[in-house]
Amino acid sequence: MVQLRDVTNALAPVMDVQPILSDFVRLESILMGPRPDVPEELRHVHAEYANVMRDIRAKLANFLTNIMAVHNNLSTVLDAIDATAQPV
């Protein structure tokens, strides 16, 4: 049977969301960088796309922050349980 502690320990190395957000920002800058090849009549579409990308990044950051908080809270609870557990 998988122990909850094993799961939280396995997740710990991937809970650092900064690299994920950095990769997303880098992708966004590549996609949203200066685009002289975009015709003038399509620049409003390009600007709207930039707004959507910023919104997605903000939602991704919020989601990952919430996941980190759940992981940290779960680790704290498990630490407290371990500290009060009676040896069998």
- Structural domain spans, the chain: 18-83
With a CB cutoff of 8 Å and minimum separation 6, the contacts of 48 are: none
Helices (H) and strands (E) in the chain, counts: 3, 0
- Residue 31: what pLDDT? 66
Backbone angles phi, psi at 2, to 5 degrees: -80, 130
Tokens of 14: 């991937």
- Residue 52: what pLDDT? 84
- pLDDT class of 79 with cuts at 50, 70, 90: confident
- Residue 24: what pLDDT? 72
Whole-angstrom Cα distance, residue 81 to residue 40? 62
